[in-house]
Chains A and B, each alone.
Chain A
């Protein structure tokens, strides 16, 4: 049982009068059959194909995959940040019971920062270089109707302290901060309104191992204290091994496996997941020769007809090359591989409560 302490909503006290819709009951985010295409002049690239999952309040979901597997596109699809040529062609994203797909900009603006915030990969590019950190915090708060200078200053200082930065840096410009501090102030900005969901796109990839570790620990602490849910995209599986509740492995635009993080690390089912596990050397365990995964991910403009991983799969058999596998349920894990066809009927990658306890 992952009972998330939602009691520590004390921060909500200094929220503006506008009513916060508190969410009590059911998944906070329901993604159904989300499909994103890049519509190019001559080609249609299916970047994200029929991705479905549920996210419980306060849950930490990690999405991993190689570059080009569609993980960032999926994230942008959820946050409604896609620009042409990318387009959501099917599916829905229900956030707190409301479908975000097709909402107008003004409706989205009301939700962004307040209920759902996004932390981008490169804080240097996401922050405005000619405005101080404090001024950027102020912009975000004003956009949501907070006008009291005092309130803005107090809340800005508070969130900056929450991420371990001295509030004196509200006067600093992004270039005066180190990479780790910039990334932290992005996270602070994302927490200005105590959102219910924070979406993070490789927020630690520009950082060193030490800074990376301390940022991850901090995200986890904040998440426990405040109770927001996290979707965390990364290409580095080992990074999230100790932090995420659930792990979703994507390959070539599809979910190839999703399940409790520890379970996936202990007994990866999909040959691709197993390959990823074997792809990085251990720092402490016995030194063994590794082979990685041969070959490259497929071109999504013309994916292989059967299983998309078949050309690189060590366990490939004849049917794999012609029959596209669906997601099969095995012990609470969903896996897209014909080897597990007998497991159970194709289901939705929602996690039953027993699974996330692992």
Chain B
């Protein structure tokens, strides 16, 4: 890209840094044998930011790179290039054990599968107290227990003293996922990285977890990166929405605005495909039989062009860059950026 490149919404209006931001965050994986080396682009030059006390939903199909972003932010993966800034500090500089512990306490992860993420042979207090011992060694044994009970109470596991002594198999899926949030909360985080935290739960249980996420934001002041493929639940909890397609951000902005007037054809496709009994059957999605591409050694051009009814000449040759198209709204689409009305699905 030769044109002057201004990262969108990198600095807030008042000149302060957001809680977390990424700068051209990129992660590639090498695949194939030694003779036919190929590169899978899981995340390509992603710029995103999460403000404090904000729930940001990261949505997209499986394989679009959303979980890889969570792992990059949690320092599980190292980026191929680009950087993540946490409160203005590059996270690649957190190298010592102390710094890494400090960071993973500030930005813990909550995983998708509550049945696999808790050790089944110990009582739930075990994992809880271990992480407290590790991340908050200044607390005495008694204080650790008190803190464990406090966070269990916050996430709605009552009576906390009783639940702490149970084994994971004695808890339901919803309760286990609450344990996941409690463990994250005990580290006094500023940002919880929640990777599909409710997708394995029953519909009747999900809403309780979503309400918990809102409570954590409003009462505990925690920001949450909520990774999901369910736009309805994203709308229910999140302040901002980032839509990913094939390792890149397709569209970002305040969630109500994006969902009421999506500007990227892919966002429109996602919205039209989402099942909603309260709305008439969306038309258009029937024609789409496409599948998300595997981004292996991509050539220039928009990655959505094969499925996009509006694709123009430029879309086949120039990769669209995420650009602002309104207050807080960014979109990576040539058609939308040209000012034309986008109505693909």
Contacts and interface: CB of A to CB of B under 8 A. Distances in A.
Nearest to A291: B207
A343 B138 CA distance: 65
B169 to A, nearest CB: 13
A209 B174 contact: no
Which of A164, A211, A280 has the largest number of chain B CB atoms within 10 A?
A280
Interface size, B (range): 35 or more
A296 B235 contact: no
Contacts of B291: 178, 180-181, 211
A237 interface: yes
A276 interface: yes
Which of B259, B269, B276 has the largest number of chain A CB atoms within 10 A?
B276
Contacts of B288: 210, 214
B306 to A, nearest CB: 13
B89 to A, nearest CB: 36
A265 B277 contact: yes
Contacts of B232: 280-283
B292 A242 contact: no
B202 interface: yes
A237 B276 contact: no
A284 interface: yes
Given A210-B61, A214-B289, A279 B276 contact: no
B237 to A, nearest CB: 9
Interface string B181-221: 00000000000000000000011111110110000000000
A290 B61 contact: no
A219 to B, nearest CB: 12
A139 interface: no
Interface string A169-187: 0000000001111000000
B20 interface: no
Contact of B285 (A217, A235, A281): A217
A285 interface: yes
A164 B203 contact: no
A208 B292 contact: yes
Given A238-B276, A242-B281, A282-B278, A290 B174 contact: no
Nearest to A65: B202
A211 B290 CA distance: 8
A314 to B, nearest CB: 13
A275 interface: yes
A296 B173 CA distance: 10
A283 B207 contact: no
Contact of A296 (B172, B274, B289): B172
Which secondary structure dominates chain B's binding surface? helix
Contacts of B279: 282-285
A150 interface: no
Interface string B89-116: 0000000000000000000000000000
B178 interface: no
Given A208-B292, A209-B270, A213-B273, A283 B202 contact: no
Contacts of B122: none
A241 interface: yes
Nearest to B286: A217
A252 to B, nearest CB: 12
Given A210-B269, A210-B285, A66 B202 contact: yes
A213 B271 CA distance: 11
Interface string A209-236: 1111110010000000000000000011
Given A180-B291, A208-B229, A284 B277 contact: no
Interface in A272-310: 275-277, 279-285, 287, 289-294, 296
Nearest to B209: A292
Contacts of A213: 273-275, 282, 285
Contacts of B61: 208-211
B236 A287 contact: yes
Contacts of B290: 210
Interface string A71-107: 0000000000000000000000000000000000000
Contact of B235 (A66, A164, A281): A281
B204 A239 contact: no
B233 interface: yes
B288 to A, nearest CB: 6
Nearest to B307: A210
Contacts of A275: 204
Nearest to B259: A283
Contacts of B286: 214, 217
Nearest to B285: A213
A222 B335 CA distance: 36
A292 B292 contact: no
Interface in B299-340: none
A58 B104 CA distance: 55
Contacts of A285: 276, 278-279
Contacts of A296: 172, 174, 205
B203 A276 contact: yes
B231 interface: yes
Contact of A284 (B202, B210, B276): B276
Contacts of B281: 242
Contacts of A292: 204-208, 211
A290 B172 CA distance: 21
Given A208-B61, A210-B273, A235-B203, A283 B172 contact: no
19 contacts: A66-B205, A179-B62, A208-B229, A208-B292, A209-B275, A210-B288, A211-B61, A217-B285, A238-B275, A239-B275, A242-B281, A279-B204, A280-B207, A280-B232, A287-B256, A290-B207, A291-B211, A292-B207, A296-B172
Closest 8 CB pairs of A and B: A241-B277, A292-B207, A281-B236, A213-B273, A293-B204, A283-B232, A238-B275, A208-B61
Given A210-B290, A292-B208, 16 more contacts: A66-B202, A66-B205, A178-B291, A181-B291, A208-B62, A210-B270, A212-B273, A214-B286, A241-B277, A265-B277, A275-B204, A283-B232, A283-B279, A292-B206, A292-B211, A296-B172
